[in-house]
Amino acid sequence: MYEEIEKSKKLLKAGESDSALDILFNLLEKASNFNDREKVCTDIAKIYILKNDYTKAVEKLGDFFDDLKMSIFLDNIDEYITENNKDRVKNILLNNFEIFKKKIILKSKPSSMLVILTEKCNLKCIMCESVKNNYTVPENVLTDIINHMKYFERLTCLGGEVFLYDKFNVLVENAKKFDAELGICTNALLLGKNISMFENMKASIGVSVDGFDKDTYEKIRINGNFDVLTENLEILKQSIQKESFKQTRTLLHVVIMNINYKQIRQAFDFALKYNFGALNFLKLNSSFQYMPNEQEMEYAICQINECMDIIEKEKYNIQIFTDPNLNVFRENQKNLYNNNNIKRSDLGIRCNVPWKNIAINSDSDVYFECRCDCKHFEKFETIEKSWNGLPVQSIRQAIIDGNYIEPCKDCSILY
Q: How far apart are CA 367 and CA 387, in angstroms?
A: 11
Task: Decide if residue 128 touches ligand SF4 (CB under 6 A).
Answer: yes
**In the complex, least distance from residue 197 CB atom to ligand SF4, rounded to whole angstroms:** 19
Nearer to ligand SF4, 43 or 119 (CB): 119
Site residues (CB under 6 A) for ligand SF4, limited to 244-303: none
407, interface contact from ligand SAM, ligand SF4, none, CB < 5-8 Å by kind = ligand SF4
Stretch that binds ligand SF4, among 149-157, 263-271, 325-333, 405-413 (CB under 6 A): 405-413
- Report yes or no: 391 and 375 within 8 Å, Cβ to Cβ: no
Burial of 307 (0-12, 13-18, 19+ CB in 10 A): buried
Pick left, alpha or beta for residue 29 (phi over 0 → left; psi -120 to 50 → alpha; otherwise beta): alpha
**In the complex, least distance from residue 174 CB atom to ligand SAM, rounded to whole angstroms:** 21
* 3 state SS of 306: helix
359 residue type, one letter: A
Task: Find how far residue 207's CA is from the centre of its chain.
Answer: 16
Task: Decide if residue 353 touches ligand SF4 (CB under 6 A).
Answer: yes
**In the complex, least distance from residue 208 CB atom to ligand SAM, rounded to whole angstroms:** 3
Site residues (CB under 6 A) for ligand SF4, limited to 82-121: 121
Q: How far apart are CA 253 and CA 271, in angstroms?
A: 10
Site residues (CB under 6 A) for ligand SF4, limited to 154-183: 159-160
List interacting residues with ligand SAM (CB under 6 A).
Answer: 121, 127-128, 130, 158-161, 185-187, 208, 253, 255, 282, 284-287
120, interface contact from ligand SAM, ligand SF4, none, CB < 5-8 Å by kind = none
**In the complex, least distance from residue 258 CB atom to ligand SF4, rounded to whole angstroms:** 17
- Pick from 130, 247, 285, 319 the residue near ligand SF4 by CB under 6 A: 130
Q: Which residues face 359 on adjacent strands?
A: 114, 367
Nearest Cα to 184, choosing from 151, 208, 218? 208
204, interface contact from ligand SF4, ligand SAM, none, CB < 5-8 Å by kind = none
Residues 6+ apart with CB under 8 A from 410: 404
Pick left, alpha or beta for residue 200 (phi over 0 → left; psi -120 to 50 → alpha; otherwise beta): left
What count of other Cβ atoms lies within 10 Å of the Cβ of residue 391? 17
411, interface contact from ligand SAM, ligand SF4, none, CB < 5-8 Å by kind = ligand SF4
Nearer to ligand SF4, 33 or 403 (CB): 403
- Report yes or no: 75 and 90 within 8 Å, Cβ to Cβ: no
Task: Decide if residue 324 touches ligand SF4 (CB under 6 A).
Answer: no
Query: Angle 2-13/34-50 helices, nearest 10 degrees?
Result: 0
Residue 83 — φ and ψ, nearest 5°?
-70, 150
Binding site for ligand SF4 (CB under 6 A): 121, 123-125, 128, 130-131, 159-160, 187, 208, 344, 351, 353-354, 368, 370-371, 374, 407-408, 411, 413-414
